[in-house]
Amino acid sequence: MLRFLQKCKNTNHLKQTHLQILVNGLKDNDSLLHNLITVSSDLISVDYAFTVLQTSNSPDVIAYNTMIKCFIGRENNSTAYNALRAYKQMRSRAFLVSPNSFTFTFLLKTIEGLDVGRMIHGEVLKMGLDASSVFVGNTLLNFYSKSGNDGVDLASKVFDEMPERDTVSWNTMIAMYMDCQEVESAIKLFESMPKRSIVTWNSVITGLAKNGKMESARSVFDKMPEKNEVSWNCLISGYVKAGDLKNAENMFDEMPVKSVVTSTSIISGYAASGDLESARKMFNQMGIKRNVVTWNAMIAGYVNKSQFNEALSLFHFMLLDNKCKPDHITLISILSASSHLGSLENGKWISSYINKNKINLSTPLGNALIDMFTKCGDIENGKSIFNKMSNKCIITWTTMVSGLAVNGKCKEALNFFNKMCDEGIKPDDVMFIAVLSACNHGGMVKEGKSLFQKMVNFYGIKPKIEHYGCLIDLLARSGELHEAIRLIENMDLEANSVIWATMISACKLHGNGELFEYVSKKVLDKEGLNCGYLTFNYKFEFINWKVGRCFEV
DNA sequence: CTAGGGTTAG
């Protein structure tokens, strides 16, 4: 029966096997139950898996752990609640199953929010587990360290009180301090560490890079006793994120250190002279070569810098090099590049590559495909990907909305927006930029105004300058110039050059000279508002207009 | 349990 279960490929197989298990009275068999939970969660849904667990009479701690583990990494917002429900159930009088270290490790990965975390921390203490294992302590550390600034003190407290610490504990603390810009604290820990691992060094490189200290990152990299691929990748992506493609390219080119023949002869030289330490170091360096992450970092660097053709050509080089296969992250970047270039030809090639290589259509990959198809004008294929995707996230919907809008299908874009809201997904600030600009493209003033209101009053999203920009543009271009001005003067943000440019051209469009003069003067008063170029333009247009008026008189 | 790569708007 176990073998049948593990061979299940789809929902039907699984349901039949499940039925067989029930019919044969095997539903309380431990090992079958564990597997049934995992496979159900993979092939059907976590809810189904949960039902399976609940119908069992004697689930053991592994069954619960397996269940909680299935909740990890789900995008659904009720997973934390469900994981906790499973935990409560195992602790209830009817079952009274004792949790172990694994239970808390998994549980802490499904939840977020300091309050819930502290509650689980309390449970850990109650079970007396913290003293017994570094493992649980590290999981707690990791949880607090990723819970924002408020978690830092709690993490430090856990760290200080840990009866036993290992390298992982120290590494977690270092990464945490780096993430909250406490570089000094991180370095202090690094220097006082009893024993550093390669992960420690790599964390420090990444941390320094995140804090904009690339020179220090580089010198740490140079000082490392031993490096691996990750060390190189840390430094390369550090340069990439700093926008320093020159240095990133240099490191990328240097990366495959030496040919195997050269390395081997150096190693035997060291070994022959009795310097085994150097021989071992050389041996460890020998295996270093570009991996898929290296390629992805470099390709993403080009995409981030809008060097889309360079991204595509590096991708082709990667295929020619034929040493590592592109994965879904490579493809996402390349799809993004194709989308920006409007190159349907490239995009289609990637799409068929995905099908040919049976690459799993993850949510982000699906999103990237939708974006590419719609931005290249192929709405039908975009929609068909959208319909195929079982796990849509907010980005999926946003991509669809803006994809339709740039193709002039603004009404339909709004329909998608409404459909998303109907499905109970809460729109975010990015979605509102997309949907407001859809109104803008479609000249839908009434809808735009009401959406803006809804965003602020119903969803409690604080408008950013881009939201104001969309609405002001919409109002101004449709002739509601005074309302646009009123909005500019009442908003709690300083209007930027884009907004003023919008107003200037709208005033000209609608031939409103008085307002044009008023707006121009406003802009001229704010000498420091823009770069000189823009200010100069306004001045120039304003003078032109005045001259024109003089001649009219 | 700790280190490296990704998608949406403007």
Quickly give A517 CA vs B5 C1' distance in Å: 51
Work out the number of other CB atoms within 10 angstroms of the CB of residue A455: 23
Please enumerate in sequence order all residues whose Cβ is within 8 A of that of A20, keeping only pairs 6 or more positions apart, or say none: A1, A4
DSSP assignments along A230-266, one per residue: HHHHHHHHHHHHTT-HHHHHHHHHH-S-S-HHHHHHH
Backbone dihedral region of A25: left (phi > 0), alpha (psi from -120 to 50 degrees) or beta?
Answer: left
Helices (H), A393-496: 394-406, 410-422, 429-442, 445-453, 465-477, 481-490
DSSP assignments along A91-111, one per residue: HSTTT-PPP-HHHHHHHHHH-
Per-residue flag: A338 CB under 7 A of strand B? no
User: What's the rounded Cα separation, in Å, for the pair A505 and A371?
Assistant: 31
Asked whether the beta carbons of A256 and A290 are under 8 A apart, the reply is yes
- Token digits of residue A375: 């931005």
Per-residue flag: A139 CB under 7 A of strand B? yes
- Residue type at A397 in one-letter notation: W
Per-residue flag: A474 CB under 7 A of strand B? no
Quickly give A207 CA vs B5 C1' distance in Å: 16
Quote the pLDDT of residue A75: 62
φ and ψ at residue A23, rounded to 5 degrees: -60, -40
Work out the number of other CB atoms within 10 angstroms of the CB of residue A341: 18
Chain B nucleotides close to protein (CB under 7 A) are 1-10
pTM equals 0.87
Per-residue flag: A33 CB under 7 A of strand B? no
User: What's the rounded Cα separation, in Å, for the pair A82 and A87?
Assistant: 9
User: What's the rounded Cα separation, in Å, for the pair A144 and A202?
Assistant: 21
Residue with tokens 């021989």: A279
Q: Which residue in A77, A157, A71, A91 sits closest to A118, CA to CA? A: A157
Quote the pLDDT of residue A485: 92
**Parts of chain A with a pLDDT under 50:** 531, 553
Residue A292, CA: closest nucleotide via C1'? B5
Handedness of CA A56, A61, A66, A71 (dihedral sign): positive
Please enumerate in sequence order all residues whose Cβ is within 8 A of that of A548, keeping only pairs 6 or more positions apart, or say none: none
Positions 494-533 of A with beta carbon below 7 A from strand B are 498
User: What's the rounded Cα separation, in Å, for the pair A135 and A168?
Assistant: 9
Q: Quote the DSSP letter at residue A454.
A: I
Residue closest to B6 C1′ by Cα = A329
The string over A147-156, giving b where at least 16 C-beta atoms fall within 10 Å of a residue's C-beta and e elsewhere, is beeebbebbb
| Helical axes A229-241 vs A245-254, angle rounded to 10° | 160
* Burial zone of A457 (CB within 10 Å; 0-12 exposed, 13-18 middle, 19+ buried): exposed
Backbone dihedral region of A174: left (phi > 0), alpha (psi from -120 to 50 degrees) or beta?
Answer: alpha
Residue A229, CA: closest nucleotide via C1'? B4
- Residue type at A56 in one-letter notation: S
Per-residue flag: A208 CB under 7 A of strand B? no
Per-residue flag: A381 CB under 7 A of strand B? no
- Token digits of residue A273: 């002279």
DSSP assignments along A516-553, one per residue: HHHHHHHHHH-TTSS-HHHHHHHHHHHHHHHHHHHHH-
Residue A69, CA: closest nucleotide via C1'? B1
Quickly give A371 CA vs B8 C1' distance in Å: 8
Work out the number of other CB atoms within 10 angstroms of the CB of residue A213: 16
Residue closest to B2 C1′ by Cα = A168
Compute CA distances A493 → A467, A469, A488, A545, whole Å: 11, 11, 8, 29
Q: Quote the DSSP letter at residue A455.
A: I
Quote the pLDDT of residue A152: 96
Residue A106, CA: closest nucleotide via C1'? B1
Quickly give A338 CA vs B8 C1' distance in Å: 15
Positions 50-79 of A with beta carbon below 7 A from strand B are none
Quickly give A342 CA vs B8 C1' distance in Å: 16
User: What's the rounded Cα separation, in Å, for the pair A50 and A71?
Assistant: 10
Per-residue flag: A292 CB under 7 A of strand B? yes
Per-residue flag: A138 CB under 7 A of strand B? yes
Q: Which residue in A199, A145, A215, A220 sits closest to A177, CA to CA? A: A145
Q: Which residue in A39, A46, A38 sits closest to A16, CA to CA? A: A39
